[in-house]
Structure 1
Amino acid sequence: MKIAITSPNAKTVSGHAGKCPGYLVFDVEDGQIVSQTHIKLGKEQVFRNFSGSLSATPEHPLNGIQGFISQSMGDGLIKRLLSDGIQVQVTEQNLPENALKEFLTAHQSVS
């Protein structure tokens, strides 16, 4: 399972998902982190400026994610992600690893 967490600085979870240019992306298998990368989106790739679905845009760096975590995001983005089959979680966690654990616990039957 590929999970993206809003994190422009690669250290903490941020809010404002629609404006966020940086993401930690975790590959998780059987509840264990297999890999972790930090991606920076171009201005046109930030959700506020990006139209369409991730699944229909193979060149988008977040294409293929199945989970999305942020401290805040608007209803429009939540609906877009859910309609694309992406599980969404708004968290109060500051540390990405804690937010990821929270997400995996909440979505155990899917991961």
Structure 2
Amino acid sequence: MKIGVTSQNFKTITGHAGKTRRFLIYSQDERGNIIEIERLYLPKAMSMHEFRGDRHPIDEFDILITAGCGDGFSRRMASRGVKVVTTSEVDPKVAVSLLLAGVSLPPAQPHEHG
């Protein structure tokens, strides 16, 4: 399972998922430990807000954790087979750990799209 986390600074979970260009990517090793397997840094034209092609690197994620996104982004990701989870948790590894443990993440702050 690949879990992507929006992180413009590669340290904390950030919002505006449709415009995000930096992602931390996590998985589990054979013992179930959470490991960062990759960092994705996309050019502006590859942000989901700008992208209009068929295949995108985010399509490889099973789940995307973000601090905020609009309903349209969530629907678009669902149509691409990616489940979006929003949260107010700021630590990427904590969020991934909670998610994999089946614990609900703290809810995200309301997202205004304008």
TM-score range, shorter chain: 0.7 to 0.9
Moved over 3 A (4+): none
Pair 1:24 & 2:62 matched: no
Q: Which residue of 2 aligns with 1:83?
A: 79
Query: What is the Cα deviation at residue 75 of structure 1?
Result: 0.4
Q: Which residue of 1 aligns with 2:51?
A: 50
Contact 1:82–1:88 (Cα < 8 Å) also in 2: yes
Summarize deviations over 1:1-36 as a string: whole Å, max 9, x none: 011100011110001101111100112357432442
Instruction: State the AA in 1 paired with 2:45.
Output: E
Structure with the greater alpha carbon radius of gyration:
2
Question: What RMSD in Å do the two structures reach over aligned CA positions?
Answer: 1.9
Q: Which residue of 2 aligns with 1:14?
A: 14
CA spacing shift, 1:103–1:51, aligned 2, 3 Å: farther
Unaligned runs of 5+ in 1: none
Q: Percent identity?
A: 33
What count of residue pairs does the alignment treat as equivalent?
Answer: 102
1:83-102 equivalences in 2 (<5 Å): 83-102=79-98
**Alignment TM-score, normalising by the size of structure 1:** 0.80
Query: Aligned equivalents of 2:78 and 2:57: distance in 1?
Result: 18
CA spacing shift, 1:45–1:85, aligned 2, 3 Å: same
Unaligned runs of 5+ in 2: 104-114
Query: What is the Cα deviation at residue 79 of structure 1?
Result: 0.4
